[in-house]
């Protein structure tokens, strides 16, 4: 991409006008994907109204329609996850669009948020944020969950065993499990595995073709913006500065490919979600501010892997030296 075009994009973005028109230019994405660039998206909560005038929010409807051929076809009956007496099955509730399920990869939280004595009506589109250092991918026991160079984090439905570890290590518990489908059925379905995990894949097929994710294209309010990650970061920071606004997703979890913009602090949004949304079942994520990454501490420990072999080498040298010089009395043929 030429500098002039990049600066043009920035100017257009900051002017607050025509931003979607510019960034939706397929050639922008196509040009950058070839050079291995990373993408990100912006979710502007000051623009999202949850599509109050439509039945289902446009982004949710677009996501469902685009991905319907990839939704799980569960084999019935679905057995319990022995020795537990439960299993996860959303196949009879495929129409649900008010939470994340294996059949609904994005939804909009409708919140009444109180901030400085004022009530705000806030709509928060929720889906995978596509983290920079995603534990769901790194810690997948089967290595079938991967962070792509372009940004999306993808679960391979053919290799997924449905242990739901990815959901447990995700601070937003985004991936959702459907039982009765996937590889575990071929192995020992009663004793190991539990289905396949499903979540947003940033419409990887579309961005590879130089197009935008379905939710972004469908948004009637330009609340969703998609583009090069660096541009999106610049846009978000500038927006926060100019609007005295708040950002979420830039620092959280060590950085993500999704940045929320809001006029009210995310602490207040998080509290509102906890009070209004959470019902004890998976698929309704909160927004903990500054949430850490389970991989942060292990990263700090990694230098131990450099020290360990050096210590082993020195120890062996010392031991053998003692034996050779006779300082070690542990004689081999002492009878």
Partner 1 sequence: MMKIMRHRWQIRFVHWVTALSIFILFFSGFGQMPVYKRYFVDQMPGLSWSSDYAITLHLHYYGAMILIFISVYYLFYLFLSKETDVLPKKGDVKESLLILLSLLGLAEEPENDKYLAEQRMAFAVTAVSILGLIITGLIKVLKNLPDTSIPLSLSFWATQIHNILTVILLISVVIHLLAFLIKDNRPLFSSMFTGRISLDYAKHRHSLWINRIEARNSKDKHIH
What is the binding site for partner 1 (CB under 8 A)? 81, 83-84, 132-133, 135, 138-144, 146, 148-149, 163-165, 168-169, 192, 254, 293-299, 301-302, 304-305, 307-309, 311-313, 315-317, 319-320, 323, 328, 330-335
- With respect to partner 1, which residue has the nearer C-beta, 55 or 309? 309
- With respect to partner 1, which residue has the nearer C-beta, 1 or 295? 295
The backbone torsions φ and ψ at residue 282, rounded to the nearest 5 degrees and listed phi first, read -65, 160
Judge contact between 14 and 235, C-beta under 8 A: yes
Name the DSSP class of 175: -
- With respect to partner 1, which residue has the nearer C-beta, 244 or 333? 333
Cβ neighbours of residue 320 closer than 8 Å, sequence gap 6 or more: none
User: Is the CA virtual torsion 196, 202, 206, 207 positive or negative?
Assistant: negative
Beta carbon of residue 164, minimum distance to partner 1 (angstroms, whole number): 6
- With respect to partner 1, which residue has the nearer C-beta, 18 or 320? 320
Beta carbon of residue 312, minimum distance to partner 1 (angstroms, whole number): 3
Cβ neighbours of residue 281 closer than 8 Å, sequence gap 6 or more: 99
Total Cβ atoms within 10 A of residue 255: 17
- The SS3 of residue 155 is strand
Beta carbon of residue 104, minimum distance to partner 1 (angstroms, whole number): 23
- With respect to partner 1, which residue has the nearer C-beta, 71 or 161? 161
Total Cβ atoms within 10 A of residue 56: 17
Distance CA 178, CA 91 (A): 8
Beta carbon of residue 188, minimum distance to partner 1 (angstroms, whole number): 12
Beta carbon of residue 102, minimum distance to partner 1 (angstroms, whole number): 17
């Amino acid at each position: 991409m030429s500098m002039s075009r990049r600066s043009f994009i920035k100017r257009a973005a900051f002017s607050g006008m025509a931003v979607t028109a510019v960034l939706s230019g397929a050639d922008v994405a196509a040009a950058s994907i070839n050079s291995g660039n990373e993408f990100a998206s912006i979710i502007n909560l000051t623009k999202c109204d949850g599509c109050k005038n439509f039945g289902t929010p446009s982004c949710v409807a677009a996501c469902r329609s685009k991905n319907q051929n990839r939704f799980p076809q569960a084999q019935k009956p679905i057995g319990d996850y022995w020795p537990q007496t439960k299993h996860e099955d959303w196949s009879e509730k495929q129409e649900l669009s008010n939470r994340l399920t294996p059949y609904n990869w994005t939804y909009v939280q409708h919140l009444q948020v109180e901030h400085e004595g004022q009530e705000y009506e806030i709509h928060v589109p929720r889906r995978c944020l596509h983290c920079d250092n995603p534990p769901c991918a790194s810690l997948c026991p089967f290595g079938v969950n991967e962070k792509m160079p372009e940004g999306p984090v993808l679960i391979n439905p053919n290799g997924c065993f449905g242990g739901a570890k990815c959901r447990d290590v995700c601070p937003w518990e985004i991936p959702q499990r459907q039982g009765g489908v996937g590889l575990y059925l071929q192995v020992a379905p009663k004793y190991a595995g539990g289905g396949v995990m499903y979540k947003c894949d940033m419409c990887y097929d579309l961005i590879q073709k130089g197009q935008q994710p379905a939710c972004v294209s469908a948004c009637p309010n330009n609340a969703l913006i998609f583009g090069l990650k660096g541009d999106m970061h610049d846009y978000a920071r500038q927006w926060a500065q100019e609007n005295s606004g708040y950002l979420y997703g830039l620092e959280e979890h060590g950085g993500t490919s999704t940045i929320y913009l809001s006029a009210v602090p995310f602490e207040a949004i998080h509290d509102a979600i906890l009070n209004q949304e959470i019902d004890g079942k998976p698929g309704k994520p909160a927004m903990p501010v500054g949430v850490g990454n389970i991989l942060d501490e292990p990263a700090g420990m990694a230098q131990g892997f450099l020290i360990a072999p050096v210590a082993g080498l020195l120890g062996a040298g010392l031991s053998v030296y003692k034996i050779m010089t006779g300082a070690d009395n542990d004689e081999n043929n002492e009878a």
